[in-house]
């Protein structure tokens, strides 16, 4: 088992990055890896509610974030600076997660065996 950290850095729907990052996260977890997620930069926009991806011709993978705990993905960090940049507060986010400052994120990355950035 390895500690795999997947970082979401891109806004959803404009590219397939977020969707394919989530696919990898769930698959890794189902292969018994210890998976954690970090949302930062435009990646925090994945966490907003009421998205209508079909209108952009994209699959609604956003709803699947709700299933993370079923896959035992319990460590989900979101960058506080990135939230502030987009004027977002924790109350607006769709899933339970931990607001983390850059030092906490840096410390977490240090503990990971592998870090994959999308």
The whole-angstrom distance between residue 77's C-alpha and the CA centroid of its chain comes to: 8
The residue from 1, 70, 91, 111 that contacts another protein (CB under 8 A) is: 1
Binding mask 40-79 for another protein (x = CB under 8 A): ----------------------------------------
Pairwise CA distance, residues 100 & 103, whole Å: 8
Quick one: 15 or 85, whose CB is closer to another protein?
A: 15
Asked if residues 116 and 33 have their Cβ atoms less than 8 Å apart, the reply is: no
Q: DSSP character for 89?
A: -
The span from the CA of 24 to the CA of 33, in Å, is 11
Is the CB of 88 or the CB of 117 nearer to another protein?
117
Give the contact letters, 7-46, x = binds to another protein (CB under 8 A), - = no: ---------xx--x--xx--xx--x-x-------------
Instruction: Considering the complex, state which of residue 58 and residue 93 has its C-beta at the smaller distance from another protein.
Output: 58
Q: Which residues contact 56 (CB under 8 A, 6 or more apart)?
A: 13, 14
């Amino acid at each position: 088992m390895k500690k795999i950290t997947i970082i979401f850095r891109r806004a959803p729907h404009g590219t397939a990055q977020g969707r394919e990052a989530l696919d990898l996260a769930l698959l890794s977890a189902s292969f018994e890896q210890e998976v954690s997620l970090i949302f930062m930069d435009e990646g925090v926009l994945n966490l907003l509610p009421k998205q209508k991806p079909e209108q952009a011709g994209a699959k609604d993978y956003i709803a699947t974030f709700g299933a993370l705990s079923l896959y035992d993905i319990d460590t989900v960090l979101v960058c506080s600076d990135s939230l502030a940049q987009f004027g977002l507060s924790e109350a607006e986010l769709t899933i339970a997660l931990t607001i983390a400052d850059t030092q906490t994120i840096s410390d977490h990355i240090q503990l990971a065996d592998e870090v994959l950035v999308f």
